[in-house]
Amino acid sequence: MAAPASAPAPAARMRASGNWIALLPFAVLVAVWLVVPLTMDVPFYVLPPIGTVIETLWDKLASGELWSDVLSSLGLLFAGFVIGNALAFPLGIAIARSRFVSQLVQPVVIFMQSIAGIAWVPLAIIWFGLGVGSVLFVIVNTIFFANLYNVIAGVRSISPTLFRAVRSHGGRGWQIYWHLVIPGALLQVIVGLRTSMAYGWRALVAGEMIAGSSGIGFRTMEAVQWYKSDVVVLGMLIIGVLWLLMDRILFVPLEARTVRRWGMIHR
């Protein structure tokens, strides 16, 4: 059976040989986008010419609007990530370590988890008003539940032998948590980080579109009202590029440095 674990080899080969041919589909797409507005009578609100989108990009770069939108979105994501994890770690460890807590809390948590973060947006708007508060609430909610699952799975994956080993060497109280539980669970958390951030990213963009007053998602949805398709398309492209950058700059190296090096590849 071909295990997915054998993925790195061809992937590495692909990078080494410089996969230039992969630019072809992109080129075709751009060519179609160039030609269609010229040859066919497509209204502007349906498909903006590629030139207009590039102009809009320059305008927004020059005015600094783009930077402030991107920074505001990323800042919210980061804040939501920190708060969500600060809540998820203690509860996750408690659930994984104590059968009493697990039996008491886990059914409720499973139920709450299945209510998608985005479904909280309307209620959040009533409580916190339109703006940063509501969006942050939704991101924290999403990241919390996504990573709670990872923390529980991570702590439970630590072998009981290790607990006995730490205890027999005189490890007590906080030492067990500091030297065994947290590093042990971190592995699973790192593996799940990409997935949970993918959920958090969607929650951010969706939250900004419905309840935001700033950020890239807000700007993109706002443009729909004025039929500014150039701003909409630009927003989409930026959302895509930002996610790819986060993935390449943060998660891929992080996984390579930690999980893969420790020989614990799951995919």
Partner 1 sequence: MSTAAGVIQSGAPWALAGRLPLRRHMPLILGIAGFAIVIALWEISALAFGLSVRLYPTPLSVLHTFVDLIRKGILPVHVTDSLARYVSGVAIGTVVAVVLGVLFGLNRFVARMMLPLVNFLYAIVEVSWIPLFVLWFGYGPKVILLALIYVVAFPVLFNCLTGVLSVPQVYVNAVRSLGATRAQVIRQVILPAILPNFMTGFRVGAGFAFRALVFGEVIAAQTGLGFLIFEGAQMQDTSRTVVGMISMGVLWLFFDRVYLRPLERATLERWGMIAGEGQG
Q: Does 54 bind partner 1 (CB under 8 A)?
A: no
Comparison of 62 and 168: residue with beta carbon closer to partner 1: 168
CB of 256 to partner 1, least distance (A): 16
Report the greatest alpha carbon distance in the chain.
78
CB of 87 to partner 1, least distance (A): 13
CB of 244 to partner 1, least distance (A): 5
Contact 33, 47 (CB under 8 A): yes
Q: Does 34 bind partner 1 (CB under 8 A)?
A: no
For the record, the structure tokens of 176 come out as 């067990």
CB of 35 to partner 1, least distance (A): 18
CB of 201 to partner 1, least distance (A): 7
Contact 118, 207 (CB under 8 A): yes
Among residues 15, 16, 41, 160, which is the contact residue for partner 1, using CB under 8 A?
Answer: 160
Question: Could you give phi then psi for residue 46, rounded to 5 degrees?
Answer: -85, -45
CA distance 183 to 161: 15
- CB crowding 44-53: b at 16 or more within 10 Å, else e: eeebbbbebb
Comparison of 142 and 214: residue with beta carbon closer to partner 1: 142
Spell out the residues 6+ positions from residue 209 whose beta carbon is closer than 8 angstroms to its own: 217, 218, 220, 221
Q: Does 38 bind partner 1 (CB under 8 A)?
A: no
Comparison of 27 and 38: residue with beta carbon closer to partner 1: 27
CB of 209 to partner 1, least distance (A): 7
The alpha-helical segments, DSSP class H, found in 64-131 are 65-97, 99-114, 121-128
Among residues 16, 18, 21, 40, which is the contact residue for partner 1, using CB under 8 A?
Answer: 21
Token pair 């339109």 in the structure block, residue:
130
The DSSP 8-state label assigned to residue 46 in this structure reads T
Q: Considering only CA atoms, which of 105, 188, 203, 104 is closest in space to residue 147? A: 188
Q: Does 209 bind partner 1 (CB under 8 A)?
A: yes
Stretch that binds partner 1, among 51-59, 75-83, 107-115, 250-258 (CB under 8 A): 107-115
CA distance 189 to 234: 33
Q: Does 210 bind partner 1 (CB under 8 A)?
A: yes
C-beta neighbour count of 147 within 10 angstroms: 27
Among residues 136, 190, 217, 255, which is the contact residue for partner 1, using CB under 8 A?
Answer: 217
Number of residues that bind partner 1 (CB under 8 A): 96
Binders in 120-159 for partner 1, by CB under 8 A? 120-123, 125-127, 142-147, 149-150, 153, 156, 158-159
Among residues 53, 132, 140, 205, which is the contact residue for partner 1, using CB under 8 A?
Answer: 205
Q: 3-class DSSP state for residue 206? A: helix
Binding mask 220-249 for partner 1 (x = CB under 8 A): xx-xx--x-x--xx-xxx-xxx-xx--x--
